């Protein structure tokens, strides 16, 4: 039986999503390699050791202006959960409007901690139910690059990013 991470990676690859993994100590380099400039992002709330990971040492503009967002090719956000059987990402909405950074760019780079991968939708919904009952939060569940065939041929990027790259931050690495 596959691990939840292996199932998640297989589902992502089937969707055409690029997947990479890194140790937390190498996350800055992994983000730098994954983005296509110009890039925008928001501060990430997971911690690296005792400090929150900062995008400062990357080519990512944090808390961008509307003009920077409009001109950006890549948006960098954290992902709250990964859903193993679908390859979906749970993207929490924040006061910084993180959903804009994941939806209005050509390339979305999502940073997901390995321990936040759930095996299936039922487990993810149970986890979200518990979190959102406490916080009153909300989220988007995004599955792969945006695609539509409303008008005939399949078109990527019509309602969101054409490309998605997930960086999995490995446990204990």
- pLDDT band of residue 135 (cuts 50, 70, 90) is confident
pTM (2 d.p.): 0.90
DSSP 8-state code for residue 64: -
* Total count of residues recorded for the chain: 173
Q: How far is CA 50 from the centre of its chain?
A: 22
Cα(168)–Cα(146) distance, integer angstroms: 21
For the stretch 4-50, pLDDT in tens is 999 999 999 999 999 999 999 999 999 999 999 999 998 876 544 43
**Tokens at residue 108, please?**
């979305």
Please tell me the predicted confidence (pLDDT) of residue 46.
54
**Residue 36: which residues within 8 A CB-CB, separation 6 or more?**
73, 74, 106, 107
52 pLDDT above the threshold of 70: no
Cα(10)–Cα(14) distance, integer angstroms: 6
Q: Taking the domains of the chain in order of start, what are their residue ranges? A: 2-147+154-167
**Tokens at residue 87, please?**
């390859």
**Class level of CATH domain 2-147+154-167:** alpha beta
Cα(75)–Cα(4) distance, integer angstroms: 26
Per the rule left: phi > 0, alpha: psi between -120 and 50, beta: everything else, 112 is beta
């Amino acid at each position: 039986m596959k691990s939840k991470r292996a199932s998640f990676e297989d589902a992502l690859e089937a969707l055409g999503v690029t997947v990479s993994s890194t140790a937390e100590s190498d996350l800055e380099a992994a983000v730098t390699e994954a983005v296509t400039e110009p890039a925008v992002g928001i501060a990430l709330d997971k911690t690296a050791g005792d400090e929150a990971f900062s995008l400062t040492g990357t080519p990512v503009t944090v808390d961008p202006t509307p003009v920077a967002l409009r001109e950006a090719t890549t948006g960098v956000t954290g992902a709250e959960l990964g859903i193993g059987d679908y390859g979906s990402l749970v993207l929490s909405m924040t006061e910084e409007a993180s959903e804009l950074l994941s939806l209005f760019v050509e390339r979305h780079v999502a940073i997901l901690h390995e321990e936040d991968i759930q095996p299936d939708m039922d487990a993810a919904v149970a986890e979200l139910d518990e979190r959102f009952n406490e916080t009153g939060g909300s989220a988007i569940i995004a599955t792969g690059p945006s695609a539509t065939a409303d008008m005939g041929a399949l078109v990527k990027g019509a309602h969101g990013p054409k490309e998605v790259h997930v960086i999995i931050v490995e446990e204990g690495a």
